[in-house]
Amino acid sequence: MAGAPLLLGVEDVRGGYGEVDILNGVSLFLRKGEIVTVAGTNGAGKSTLAKAVLGLLPRVSGRILFEGADLVGLSTEDRVGRGVGYVPQVANVFAALSVVENLQVVVGVKDQRRRIAELFEAFPLLAERRRARAGSLSGGERQQLAFARALMTSPRLIILDEPTAALSPAKVAEAFELIARLPSLNVSVLVVEQRARQCLAVSQRGYILDGGKVAIEGEAAMLLADERAAELYLGRTEKRHS
């Protein structure tokens, strides 16, 4: 992946919801084919950063380059049209609609039947449950549906906002396996996640935010081995006794 073209470049992004800046100059990048973790403590600005990239943050300065073009100032719809997808933390499927209907209602899809067939191939569980109401799915199945919905428009980048937050502990490992599989569907992944260790384990690189700024960044393996990252942000693993 090193050497792959740059897909996303966030450059000195500042901004917030009102007058107070929540993001205080965040810079990060993501190459084509990568999974990149954004971790950090509660309130560090992880979800706010995701919103800034999507055009959902009221006030933003700096540059957000996607495939070389600046997204700042564009509507969310335009960003999605350019190839940015999003899976929000909650309310990411329509409970009253069936699995297949949840995919059919996504707007802006070129060849809907073909895309649904491709996604059913990638998510066989969803194909099996195509007529089931989304509200009757398990947490893990519902998440697959939320991912499939976001993939309907064939985005080149998908942003996942705390994808494991609503899952039972037993389903968390499955969710990370699913995330690890996403690049095989020709999509790169920016994932905002509290479970930083598990998320870094399926990522190539990561950024740890603190107070709306990048505190530590680097290769995932390097961050997982970093004493300061462990001490301040990742939680210590059990010490092995010899």
Q: Which residue, 3 or 169, has its beta carbon nearer to ligand ATP?
A: 169
Closer residue to ligand ATP in complex, CB, 137/199: 199
User: According to CB under 6 A, which one of 37, 47, 164, 204 is a site residue for ligand ATP?
Assistant: 47
Residue 49 CB, shortest distance to ligand ATP, in Å, is 7
Phi, psi (rounded to 5 degrees) for 9: -130, 110
Shortest distance (Å) from residue 47 CB to ligand ATP: 3
Which residue of 7, 15, 46, 223 would you call a contact of ligand ATP, by CB under 6 A?
46
Establish if 22 lies at the interface with ligand ATP (CB under 6 A): yes
234 makes contact with ligand ATP (CB under 6 A)? no
150: enclosing H helix or E strand: helix 139-151
d(CA 29, CA 88): 21
Q: Name the segment binding ligand ATP (CB under 6 A); options: 26-34, 46-54, 70-78, 170-178.
A: 46-54
Using the rule CB under 6 A, is 40 a contact of ligand ATP?
Answer: yes
Handedness of CA 122, 124, 128, 129 (dihedral sign): negative
Contact 209, 26 (CB under 8 A): yes
Nearer to ligand ATP, 141 or 193 (CB): 193
Decide: is 24 part of the binding site for ligand ATP (CB under 6 A): no
Q: How far apart are CA 219 and CA 221, in angstroms?
A: 6
Draw the binding track, 178-207, toward ligand ATP (x: CB under 6 A; -: no contact).
----------------x-------------
Sign of CA dihedral 234, 235, 236, 238: negative
- In this structure, how many other beta carbons lie within 10 angstroms of the beta carbon of residue 237? 9
Round to whole Å and give the CA distance between 223 and 82.
Answer: 32
C-alpha to C-alpha distance for 154 and 84, rounded to whole angstroms: 9
In the complex, which residues of this chain contact ligand ATP (CB under 6 A)?
A: 17, 22, 40, 42-48, 194
